[in-house]
Structure 1
Amino acid sequence: MTWVLILVIALVVLGVMVFLLKLPRTGWEITAAALLFGIAGYALQGHPGQPGAPQAPVENARLTDQTLLKERQQMGAGFGQGQSWLILADALTRQGQFGAASDVLRKAIAKSPQDADLWVALGNALVGHTEGVITPAAQFAFQKAANIAPDHPGPPFFMGLALAQTGRLAEARVLWAQLLARSPADAPYRPDLQSRLQQLDSMIAEQARMQGGMAGAPAAPPPGAKPAQQ
């Protein structure tokens, strides 16, 4: 009965995505494959007959990815109509399949090139694919989203995040400070943005302190030089 229930749930999920969320026909196969892959994984590792043993959650890379997905969802939703594509791309992103998510989003953008949310998601997927390094393609995606929807908070936020991850702290701060200045007081992402900006300021101050200490240190003698006489 457990397997019957699991299959029924999978069919219901697929039906909701196809008929209610209007998932494009080109995404049916990959969505069904993802569901079957999840069922297969449960068949190999699941033990429904064993008693539960709840434990404290462990923070890992996937949790961080999900946090960023939540941020993007809070910042989007009102700037495009490609939600069915975003659902599929987010599912792939949660599994760390950034390349596949990028491919899905490129197909979605080909159909809806003026959807700012799709461009933001593509930029995030490209950054994830390069493990946090901002590439010209990712930068183009964020800039495209900003051009389509100048009020969209996603492009400056995630562009700044990518810049900060690559050590370009001052550039990231400019973007985040401008975003905070124009963000509504009741914006759901505002508290997180303020917290991140404070952390960034601390990092910049620490970086300046270390650079000042290195500048004030005496230069090392060249190799082979004789020590100075006291």
Structure 2
Amino acid sequence: MSSAMMWGVFALMALLALGLATLPLWRRPRAVAEADRLTVYGRQLAELEMETKRGLLTPEAAQAARLEIERRILRLNETAVVPNAGGKGLLAGAAVTAVAGAFGLYLWLGHPELPDHPAEVAGAMELKGTAAGEPTLNALLDRLIAYLDTNPDAMEGWEHLRRAALSVGRGADYAAALERGVRTRPENVDLRVLYAESLIFMGQGQVSPAARLALTQADALDPSHPALRYYTGLALLQDNRPAEAEALWQKLLDEAPEGAEWRGQIAEKIAEAQAAQGKSSAASAIAALPADQQTQQIRGMVEGLAAKLEAAPDDAGGWLRLGRAWRVLGEPAKAQVALARGRAIAEKAGDKALMADFAAEAENLAKP
């Protein structure tokens, strides 16, 4: 098998996984406890942050606890996807790929001129088939992971692994392989950035303490790395430092070559940072008003949200925010209506985490 043919196979694998994800949901739904555990781990991380701020834990103990929780999150994937899983599992794979695409800037921001593998590498990755004469997707991925364990500098292989593994719900295996690669090649800044990216993906877009550590280590090797700067900006934005994030992304955009495909995505993040600054300014302006005018301004904003949701009613998270806002404004009847509409959308989508949020808000509303 030639090098080009081999990588073509892995590109096809990713496309095949995406195609399967579009099948109708005619198969029996499969309960996925991993989503519930992910919610629990997320709450544990939040509680850990509160305990750290209160001084109940030393920084060293807090960091160790964070890393342990994040390792458990990474291990969730071990039973998340099995052969012949139902349609929900396949659609989850599609969602995974969509999120990965949002963060998968490595190939563009890193080094697009990735070298080909030598012919002997392609031969080493030749697979025996299944009984039917066709290799399974997981077998192909396992062989690629094994190859990268001994050849961690094969960056094109990592890119193919990212696309294929994330598309079929094996993101944890991908992140674990990268962790091993970083240990083997600690001086490889590209691997460190890819590892940070994988942790951000596993955290549903949140730049976790482990991801921040990986970014810091990459920064020590090459602070000019474009993908590193992109994810550092994301961390700044999540730290409520939008002005710094905007400045970092703007510099990255200014230095980007004309016609670079990722310019549009950086521009979108700049706009997001600018919008965040606008919200902060609006909040400060409202806080400066007399109490009665503050209430009037806030009510106007809530009514504006209600109007938007009537025009686009499929936003379950929007209905949850509206319900909370009406509760705070002392409008329990309106809050109940908003929560009921949003909860119905969450139940239809099977979003257990959001359903739990609606249940918690309903409890708050029921309190005297």
- Do these two structures clear the TM 0.5 threshold for a shared fold by scoring above it? yes
Given candidates 174, 199, 207, the residue that maps to 1:134 is 207
* One-letter amino acid of the structure 1 residue matched with residue 237 of structure 2: A
**Aligned 8 A contact 2:256 2:263 in 1:** yes
TM superposition shift of 1:209:
1.0
Q: What does residue 98 of structure 2 align with? A: 63
* One-letter amino acid of the structure 2 residue matched with residue 124 of structure 1: E
Task: Report the number of matched residues.
Answer: 175
TM superposition shift of 1:60:
4.7
Cα separation, 1, equivalents of 2:188 and 2:156: 10
Q: What does residue 102 of structure 1 align with? A: 175
* One-letter amino acid of the structure 2 residue matched with residue 75 of structure 1: L
TM superposition shift of 1:128:
2.2
Q: What does residue 152 of structure 1 align with? A: 225
**Aligned 8 A contact 2:200 2:208 in 1:** yes
Q: What does residue 155 of structure 2 align with? A: 82
1:106–1:171 distance in 2 versus 1, CA, 3 Å? same
1:178 aligns with 2:251: yes
Unmatched tracts of structure 1, length 5 or more: 1-10, 21-36, 46-58, 221-230
Report Cα offsets for 1:8-51 as digits up to 9, x if no partner: xxx999x926xx9xxxxxxxxxxxxxxxx88x439x77xxxxxx
Cα separation, 2, equivalents of 1:206 and 1:193: 20
Comparing 117-126 and 199-208, the one that deviates more: 199-208
Cα separation, 1, equivalents of 2:262 and 2:175: 24
Unmatched tracts of structure 2, length 5 or more: 11-80, 88-93, 115-152, 295-368
Q: What does residue 51 of structure 1 align with? A: none
For the residue of structure 2 that corresponds to 1:41, the secondary structure is coil
Report Cα offsets for 1:83-129 as digits up to 9, x if no partner: 32342244333344443222110111223222222111111111222
Cα separation, 2, equivalents of 1:85 and 1:192: 22
% identical equivalent positions: 21
What RMSD in Å do the two structures reach over aligned CA positions?
3.6
Give 4+ residue runs of structure 1 displaced > 6 Å after superposition.
none
Q: What does residue 72 of structure 1 align with? A: 106
Q: What does residue 198 of structure 1 align with? A: 271
Q: TM-score, normalized by length of structure 2?
A: 0.40
Cα separation, 2, equivalents of 1:107 and 1:74: 24
Give 1 or 2: higher helix fraction.
Answer: 2
1:163–1:100 distance in 2 versus 1, CA, 3 Å? farther
* Larger RCO, structures 1/2 (Cα 8 Å, 6+ apart): 2
Q: TM-score, normalized by length of structure 1?
A: 0.61
Q: What does residue 92 of structure 1 align with? A: 165
Cα separation, 1, equivalents of 2:168 and 2:283: 38
